Chains A and B, each alone.
Chain A
């Protein structure tokens, strides 16, 4: 589904990703772990097409297409979803309007008919239950005045509605208490299917107790320094990241 090969990217003159290669197949869950500043979030943003980042080298192919040539909205229309580490507040636009616009844009791009507000409401009701939120969420402005936990649940709710083929969760667990974490993880697990893949970007092993990955990759200084099975996450929890820092050959620290 996703083939990343020698990906280099950064902001301005600062290179953050220094040669990432990663292969993700349908049905798999990959965890990308690493200390602060290792480039985890940059990888997530670059895959979603954030124009603030410049890709300087390497290729990313998504279902045989050149992902890097696709505009962010085209990536979304082709099934990529990024759950933001810091979901953006948009006062004045209701969640319902926002999400229905997104849903319909994606349907339109895939040659499907748009749904009207009533149909849409039917459709989202069960998805709300998935993240344990009630209908008032729909009439509130997008993330405006939401608590940290509500914002993260709203991301998972959006993911549930848009049902992506490749979901990228960028530190969705950070700042969540254990109950919220469980809700978010259950949401992700329910959406798991043999056709879909998920990349879970996280700093802590904690989330991986609930979302069990097939593969774990450790990022340091813009490179993947170790890959393994789910046991690797436990090892990291025990030993910390320090023992791996040296593995990124000649890499300097990234702020």
Chain B
């Protein structure tokens, strides 16, 4: 593994994409100063929040943008973000109507939906469903203004930013997002859908906080979407605290515009017996990075991290996951699949750390990639570090192309190469979609994936 880090070619599968020269990132002090200016202009909120934001800004300035020498960014150059100047995106809905967003809905009966335009909550575009007692869902800005004590207790405490520059940057600009609080034993049947719509060429820093009390249960979907093909930057952070025995199904659906930049981090802390089921879809963006980081803090906490990325053209889509096995008896399961076409570049880095106390850990991780074109490329790096001695763990990664024998089998039944290619590609992706327990969402994603594949051939 060490050798692979020092020699990128050794860990590279598929045809070479960009030349080596372009992968060196330069710090762009110019753009950092612009963030600083906007930070100072937008300073507001209670003292504790100002202090937190200042810490974030200071850390961001110290860290700067990562280069590919940074191990976490080895295969992804953020130069396109670092070298551009993104001002804070303007507020207001800009003529967008509820009906324009209908295509991002799932299910027939109108889920509880919070809509954000360029990171700011829009009451008029949102719609409410009856969620029952014991659950609070509001914009983060409203929750901060009304002095909710649990926000101060959790915000900035789960998503670490000492080493994560984009989380530090998001923290510097905390202003709005979603706050969800579930009282103990509350079961919310209705899914809660958060829709982040971006427009224009600016940057937004949505910040979400989900605090799930003991034995509570909910389903939360974050959709990152755009109505036009604009080159904005979304830098989102979601912090999740799962109390004892809490169960959260979390979906992150990255469907940004093809010109957009997206960095999204979801960071979770799981108490004893809690369950996290995370699904991450990444299909949009010209340069996109998703981080799903969970920490199994309490005995017998479990997590399932699944994901699917579909890339085409010159897209660069990076997925990083991290599972920290802190406590004993925790099972973790992870399945990520990638379908890469055109000259696109996919990256998967899945880290599993098993700490010395985490005996009886049962970890399974796999990452499978399908290259549809000779110029598509994927770098995959499953990474397992075990410091306990009584551990069951498997991990593996594959990179392949469509099977000629299967192709001929379909052709011999009258199915032409284009349809056959679509069918086999869909079949490759289908098993990870099948793990989605939320049926209307699964069906919609299946249709979406099929449509996208049909579009490509």
Contact = CB atoms under 8 A, between A and B. Distances in A.
Residue from the set B405, B411, B419, B426 with the largest chain A CB neighbour count within 10 Å: B411
A72 B411 contact: yes
A50 interface: yes
A73 B428 contact: no
Nearest to A82: B412
Contacts of A105: 413-416, 419
Contacts of A99: 413
B404 interface: yes
Contact of A77 (B414, B423, B424, B429): B414
A50 B408 CA distance: 6
B185 interface: no
Nearest to A50: B408
A88 interface: yes
B404 A162 contact: no
Contacts of A91: 427, 431
Contact of B412 (A49, A52, A92): A49
A73 B423 contact: no
B430 interface: yes
B431 to A, nearest CB: 6
B431 A73 contact: no
B414 A92 contact: no
Contacts of A232: none
A162 B410 CA distance: 13
A51 B414 contact: no
Contacts of A75: 412
A52 B65 CA distance: 50
A81 B410 CA distance: 11
A106 interface: yes
A93 interface: yes
A225 interface: no
A36 to B, nearest CB: 20
* B-side interface size class: 20 to 34
A157 to B, nearest CB: 12
Contacts of B416: 71, 73, 105
Contacts of A97: 423
Nearest to B434: A92
Nearest to A87: B409
B411 A90 contact: no
A84 B412 CA distance: 10
Given A92-B428, A93-B427, A162 B405 contact: no
Interface string B414-446: 111101100110111111000000000000000
A90 B413 contact: no
B406 interface: yes
Contact of B408 (A72, A93, A98, A158): A72
B411 A73 contact: yes
A93 B423 contact: yes
A101 B419 contact: yes
B414 A76 contact: yes
Dominant secondary structure at the B interface: helix
Interface in A109-150: 109, 141
B431 A76 contact: no
A90 B409 contact: yes
Contacts of A233: none
B406 A90 contact: yes
A166 B320 CA distance: 53
Nearest to A144: B427
Interface in B369-426: 403-406, 408-417, 419-420, 423-424, 426
A211 B431 CA distance: 40
A141 B434 CA distance: 13
B415 A48 contact: no
Contacts of B430: 92-93
A92 B413 contact: no
Contacts of B431: 91-92
Interface string A57-91: 00000000000000111011100011010011011
A52 B430 CA distance: 28
Interface in B282-336: none
A176 interface: no
Contacts of B417: 71, 73
A88 B414 contact: no
A102 interface: yes
Contacts of B408: 49-52, 72
Contacts of A98: 410, 413, 423
A77 B412 CA distance: 9
Given A91-B431, A92-B427, A93-B427, A48 B412 contact: yes
A81 B428 CA distance: 26
Contact of B411 (A76, A87, A162): A76
B15 to A, nearest CB: 22
A158 B406 contact: no
B310 to A, nearest CB: 15
Contacts of A52: 404, 408
A84 B409 CA distance: 8
Contact of A109 (B410, B414, B429): B414
Contacts of B409: 84, 87-88, 90
A109 B411 CA distance: 13
Given A90-B427, A92-B427, A105-B419, A76 B404 contact: no
A98 B430 CA distance: 14
Nearest to A75: B412
Nearest to A80: B412
Interface of B: 403-406, 408-417, 419-420, 423-424, 426-431
26 contacts: A49-B411, A50-B408, A71-B416, A72-B412, A73-B414, A73-B415, A73-B416, A73-B420, A76-B411, A77-B414, A88-B403, A88-B405, A88-B409, A90-B406, A90-B410, A90-B424, A91-B431, A92-B427, A93-B424, A93-B430, A97-B423, A101-B419, A102-B415, A103-B414, A105-B415, A162-B414
Given A77-B414, A90-B424, 4 more contacts: A71-B416, A71-B417, A73-B416, A88-B406
What 6 A-B pairs come out closest when comparing CB atoms?
Answer: A92-B427, A76-B414, A102-B413, A72-B411, A88-B409, A92-B430
